[in-house]
């Protein structure tokens, strides 16, 4: 979602802020995005500048240009792209900037239904609406972000024809702790399975594949993509799946700083932190908007090795499987060594985690036990609280979540579901995966 602040000279958009591993429902919060892009303007120009919200006292940096010089345009966007439409000289062109590769020229996409300038734009995570403009019109066009190469479709009109207007979404909406409709499980063989949270008694569907088979890997995600990395035998490769086109083979992106397996991950809207692994206390950070580069090394875990993880928008909690020790990464100060928090209630092996905004649930894995423990994010110095149990004594190797439930699998085809609102009971058995996997999972 974006706030769109348009005047008659240029246009502005910002990248959508997202939460830790869990996305989909919406909460109104203050923006935590990192950058804003300004495009076009008068005197007529195609320049696109980017400002860094965390360092906004320096001059904006020129990025790639729009496809043509123009002023009086409008802009909107989602978490990955910004669309700049219309403008003077009067045009119907809609250009798209790729936030993760913004040094190249914007690419023209489908056009608006009519050429106009002095219009305004707003949007949500799926669509952008461009309304009004000169020549004076009440027309509203809608761009489908997932299919933006076709012409925008006219929607209902404004109450009156006008130009030089402005638009907003009313509030800035940020995904920070809720989830979409599906979970993707990958690893072991190359096949990726997708479960439908709204119909999780049905068996999962086989989708695309990872770039090569491996086990004991980890994964994290934002709303549009899932990143799978690590794995046995000692892989550092990062694969990315596109949730909107999940029948294709995952794309190989950058890599971790060193290959390892039995690591785990937490994330916020812009980065994924990959911590621990067999014989390692290393933490790597992957930049979601520049994922073709090698992940950067951050502060170490105090207690590395095989671990599980959970998190929210500000912190990631990594649980050492041997002694039940929990380390916390502060996303805003991730160069420092992690801080010790409360212990788990007993030792876990290869625990995996799911979370909502307030709690993280860690499920034990073979050969320990099937107990689920809950970390209270607001009181994380306390010992983890035992909740319900998983059905299998082999526990859980990986999990994913939506706003109400957490789904766990133990590396076989079995899937268990815990109810966040009633987490003290035995997990319920859901539909099966199509193949057994020693992998990991993400959700949109």
Show me where the domains of the chain are located: 11-174, 182-443
Q: What is the average pLDDT across 411-425?
A: 75
How high is the mean pLDDT of the chain? 79
What's the rounded Cα separation, in Å, for the pair 273 and 82? 26
pLDDT-derived band at 159 (thresholds 50, 70, 90) equals: confident
333-350 per-position pLDDT tens digit: 999 989 999 888 765 555
Cβ neighbours for 181, distance < 8 A, ≥ 6 positions apart? 24, 196, 197, 198, 402, 444
Q: What is the average pLDDT across 44-49?
A: 91
CB atoms within 10 A of CB 335: 11
Q: Residue 238: its pLDDT value, please?
A: 96
> 179 pLDDT exceeds 50?
no
DSSP code, position 338: P
Closest CA to 285 of 238, 341, 348, 231: 238
Cβ(192)–Cβ(202) under 8 Å?
Answer: no
Q: What is the average pLDDT across 128-134?
A: 91
Range with the largest mean pLDDT of 27-31, 229-233, 304-308, 407-411: 229-233
Cβ neighbours for 47, distance < 8 A, ≥ 6 positions apart? 39, 40, 41, 62, 65, 66
Q: What is the 3-state secondary structure (H, E, C) of 176-226?
A: CCCCCCEEEEECCCCEEEEEEHHHCCCCCEEEEECCCCCECCEEEECCCEE
What's the rounded Cα separation, in Å, for the pair 42 and 305? 57
Homologous superfamily, domain 182-443: Kelch-type beta propeller (2.120.10.80)
Give the CA distances from residue 57 to residues 30, 52, 53, 99, 109, in Å, rounded to whole numbers and listed in that order: 20, 9, 9, 21, 33
> 23 pLDDT exceeds 50?
no
DSSP-based three-state secondary structure for 40: coil
Asked whether the domain spanning 182-443 has the same topology as the one spanning 11-174, the reply is yes
CATH of domain 11-174: 2.120.10.80
Q: Residue 176: its pLDDT value, please?
A: 36
CB atoms within 10 A of CB 147: 10
Q: Residue 29: its pLDDT value, please?
A: 29
Lowest pLDDT segment from 238-252, 333-347, 428-442: 428-442
Q: Residue 444: its pLDDT value, please?
A: 60
Q: What percent of the chain has pLDDT over 70?
A: 79
> 411 pLDDT exceeds 90?
no
Q: Residue 419: its pLDDT value, please?
A: 81
DSSP-based three-state secondary structure for 398: strand
Q: Residue 88: its pLDDT value, please?
A: 93
What's the rounded Cα separation, in Å, for the pair 2 and 125? 8
Lowest pLDDT segment from 76-85, 152-161, 249-258, 346-355: 346-355
- DSSP calls for 145-159: GGGTTSPPEE-PPPS
208-230 per-position pLDDT tens digit: 899 998 888 888 888 888 999 99
pLDDT-derived band at 237 (thresholds 50, 70, 90) equals: very high
CB atoms within 10 A of CB 425: 11
Q: Residue 33: its pLDDT value, please?
A: 59
Q: What is the average pLDDT across 120-143?
A: 88
257-276 per-position pLDDT tens digit: 999 988 889 988 789 999 99
């Amino acid at each position: 979602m974006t706030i769109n602040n348009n005047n008659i000279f240029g246009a502005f958009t910002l990248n959508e802020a997202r939460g830790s591993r869990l996305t989909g429902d919406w909460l109104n919060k203050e923006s935590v995005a990192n950058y804003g892009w300004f495009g076009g303007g008068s005197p007529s120009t195609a320049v696109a500048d980017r400002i860094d919200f965390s360092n906004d006292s320096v001059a904006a940096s020129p990025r790639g240009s729009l496809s043509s010089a123009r002023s009086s345009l409008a802009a909107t966007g989602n978490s990955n792209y910004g669309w700049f439409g219309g403008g003077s000289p009067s045009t119907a062109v809609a250009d798209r900037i790729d936030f993760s590769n913004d040094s190249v020229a914007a690419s023209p996409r489908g056009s608006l239904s009519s050429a106009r300038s002095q219009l305004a734009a707003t949007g949500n995570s799926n669509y952008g609406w461009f309304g009004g403009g000169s020549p004076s019109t009440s027309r509203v066009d809608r761009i489908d972000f997932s299919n933006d190469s076709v012409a925008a479709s006219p929607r209902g009109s404004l109450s009156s024809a006008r130009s030089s207007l402005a638009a907003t979404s009313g509030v800035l909406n940020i995904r920070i702790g809720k989830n979409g409709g599906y979970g993707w499980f990958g690893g072991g063989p190359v096949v990726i399975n997708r479960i439908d949270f709204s119909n999780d008694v049905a068996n999962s569907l086989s989708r695309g594949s990872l770039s090569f088979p491996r086990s004991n890997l980890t994964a994290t995600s934002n709303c549009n993509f899932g990143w799978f990395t690590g794995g046995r035998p000692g892989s550092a490769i990062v694969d990315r799946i596109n949730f909107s086109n999940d029948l294709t083979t995952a794309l190989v992106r950058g890599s971790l700083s060193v290959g390892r397996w039995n690591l785990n991950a937490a994330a916020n809207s812009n980065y994924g932190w990959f911590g621990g692994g067999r014989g390692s206390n290393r933490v790597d950070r992957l930049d979601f908007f520049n994922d073709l580069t090698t992940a950067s090394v951050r502060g170490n875990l105090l207690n590395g090795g095989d671990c599980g993880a959970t998190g929210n928008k500000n912190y990631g909690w990594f649980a050492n499987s041997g002694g039940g020790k929990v380390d916390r990464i502060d996303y805003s100060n991730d160069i420092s060594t992690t801080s010790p928090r409360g212990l788990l209630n007993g030792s876990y092996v290869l625990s995996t985690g799911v979370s909502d905004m307030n709690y993280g649930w860690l499920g034990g894995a073979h050969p320990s036990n099937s107990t689920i423990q809950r970390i209270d994010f607001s009181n994380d110095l306390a010992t983890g609280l035992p909740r319900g149990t998983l059905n299998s004594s082999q526990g859980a190797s990986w999990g994913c979540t939506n706003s109400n439930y957490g789904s766990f699998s133990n590396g076989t085809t079995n899937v268990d579901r815990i109810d966040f609102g009633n987490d003290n009971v035995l997990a319920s058995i859901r539909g099966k995966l199509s193949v057994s996997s020693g992998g990991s999972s993400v959700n949109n």
